[in-house]
């Protein structure tokens, strides 16, 4: 090792802020500020510190950080267990992971398998200060999780809107635009009797989607029906049975809008079993969240929600909220991406 070469830790030595300072030639205070996400530093300096920290395998002393700052450097994703979107969890987690890369934050994922547990999960996070901020999914109009977080003044962002008068940070798929464009497309294809196949009636998304669907149908002069499957009746077996039943109906709809790619796959299976091919005798437009259905049925129209991008945006909003940004500027909608194929 030459005299100009920075000191490197020996095997087994703990990497500290001092180690990074010695390697980069920066002051201890600059290194500390950079690793805390100091926005007053030049990007070149922050990149230099991050590169050195990664090269050295630096791991923050969580207990020490929490004692000094009251911060955990953790964001928690409270992930709803509803199985209504293909690959939702993976894409959401990857999007959040990309957004926090290079920051001081780490991600914890807390799955929820019953919505009755939601308030308990949030209460645990609040009582134990287990995170600096929270992301929640599948919101309800009067969501108790949102209510608890707002009352505590705790930084959070929801993937979905609510009906609360008080504002909170959110990012949501523009369900009203999805429904409106789908109905317009079916009308342009000559459909006169259309149906919306939709799942969980407890979410705000349900309310937004059904209202927009019915309004768009009235505007287009179409007969419209909302087939409310509810949670117990939206499993793949029952959705396939619904498709089979529709295929045999004399007065079946000639156009269907489906709010979920997973439900659409099961529904198509039943239609095919009944001798009815989507796109030939009945039109179908579905909400796309993966590449599975476009591969199996490349002629079917779809409207895409980019779940990975949603994870990135939710994290961006949350980090701003943690830093104290007002919620009025932290409310965004993702516009649907149209894939008209036939």
Per-residue pLDDT at 61 exceeds 70: no
Are 187 and 77 in a shared domain?
no
Across 148-174, average pLDDT: 96
Q: Please state, as a whole number, how many other Cβ atoms lie within 10 Å of the Cβ of residue 250.
A: 4
Measure the CA–CA gap between 241 and 197, rounded to whole angstroms: 13
> What 3-state class would DSSP assign to 172?
strand
Separation of first and last alpha carbons in the chain: 67
Are 183 and 297 in a shared domain?
yes
Rg (CA), the chain: 25
Two structure tokens written together for 329: 């500027």
Measure the CA–CA gap between 153 and 155, rounded to whole angstroms: 7
Is residue 341 situated within a structural domain?
no
Across 332-338, average pLDDT: 97
**Could you tell me where the DSSP H helices lie in the chain?**
17-24, 28-35, 43-56, 62-69, 88-100, 118-128, 144-152, 175-188, 204-220, 236-248, 261-273, 292-296, 307-322
Buried b (16+ CB within 10 A) or exposed e, 127-142: eeeebbbbbbbbbbbe
Across 192-210, average pLDDT: 91
Domain range for 147: 69-172+307-335
Measure the CA–CA gap between 318 and 327, rounded to whole angstroms: 10
Q: Please state, as a whole number, how many other Cβ atoms lie within 10 Å of the Cβ of residue 38.
A: 16
Share of the chain above pLDDT 90, in %: 61
Per-residue pLDDT at 14 exceeds 80: no
> What 3-state class would DSSP assign to 150?
helix
> Do 164 and 142 contact (CB within 8 A), yes or no?
yes
Is residue 204 situated within a structural domain?
yes
Query: At 15, which CATH number?
Result: 1.10.260.40
> What 3-state class would DSSP assign to 89?
helix
> What 3-state class would DSSP assign to 196?
strand
Are 166 and 179 in a shared domain?
no
Is residue 340 situated within a structural domain?
no
294-323: pLDDT as tens digits: 999 999 999 999 999 999 999 999 999 999
Are 180 and 300 in a shared domain?
yes
Is residue 282 situated within a structural domain?
yes
Measure the CA–CA gap between 64 and 216, rounded to whole angstroms: 56
As for how many domains the chain has, the answer is 3
> Do 18 and 28 contact (CB within 8 A), yes or no?
yes
Q: Which residues pair with 301 in a beta bridge?
A: 285
pLDDT confidence of residue 1 = 43
pLDDT confidence of residue 59 = 67
Mean pLDDT of the chain: 87
pLDDT band at 3 (very low <50, low <70, confident <90, very high): very low
Is residue 64 situated within a structural domain?
no
Measure the CA–CA gap between 166 and 168, rounded to whole angstroms: 7
pLDDT band at 202 (very low <50, low <70, confident <90, very high): confident
Stated length of the chain: 342
* CB half-sphere exposure, 192, CA atoms < 13 A: 1
Query: At 183, which CATH number?
Result: 3.40.50.2300
Measure the CA–CA gap between 62 and 248, rounded to whole angstroms: 62
Are 93 and 154 in a shared domain?
yes
Are 179 and 300 in a shared domain?
yes
């Amino acid at each position: 090792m030459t005299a100009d070469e920075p000191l490197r830790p020996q095997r087994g030595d703990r990497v500290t802020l001092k180690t990074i300072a010695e390697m980069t030639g920066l002051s201890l205070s600059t290194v500390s500020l950079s690793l805390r996400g100091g926005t007053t530093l030049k990007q070149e300096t922050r990149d230099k510190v991050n590169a050195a920290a990664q090269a050295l395998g630096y791991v923050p002393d969580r207990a020490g950080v929490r004692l000094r700052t009251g911060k955990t450097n953790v964001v928690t994703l409270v992930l709803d267990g509803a199985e209504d979107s293909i690959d939702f969890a993976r894409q959401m987690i990857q999007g959040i992971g990309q957004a926090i890369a290079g920051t001081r934050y780490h991600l914890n994922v807390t799955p929820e398998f019953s919505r009755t547990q939601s308030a308990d999960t949030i209460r645990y996070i609040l009582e134990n200060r287990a995170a600096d901020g929270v992301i929640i999914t599948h919101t309800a109009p009067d969501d108790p999780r949102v209510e608890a977080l707002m009352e505590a003044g705790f930084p959070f962002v929801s993937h979905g809107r609510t009906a609360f008068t008080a504002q909170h940070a959110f990012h949501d798929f523009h369900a009203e635009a999805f429904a409106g464009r789908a109905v317009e497309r079916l009308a342009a294809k000559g459909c006169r009797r259309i149906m919306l196949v939709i799942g969980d009636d407890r979410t705000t998304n349900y309310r937004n989607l059904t209202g927009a669907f019915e309004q768009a149908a009235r505007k287009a002069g179409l007969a419209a029906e909302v087939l409310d499957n509810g949670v117990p009746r939206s499993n793949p077996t029952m959705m396939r049975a619904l498709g089979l039943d529709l295929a045999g109906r004399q007065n079946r709809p000639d156009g269907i809008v489906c709010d979920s790619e997973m439900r659409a796959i099961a529904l198509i299976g039943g239609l095919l079993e009944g001798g009815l091919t989507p796109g030939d005798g009945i039109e179908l437009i579905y909400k796309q969240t993966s590449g599975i259905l476009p591969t199996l049925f490349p002629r079917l129209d779809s409207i895409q929600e980019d779940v990975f991008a949603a994870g990135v945006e939710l994290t961006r909003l949350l980090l701003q909220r943690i830093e104290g940004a007002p919620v009025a500027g932290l409310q965004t909608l993702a516009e649907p991406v149209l894939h008209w194929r036939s």
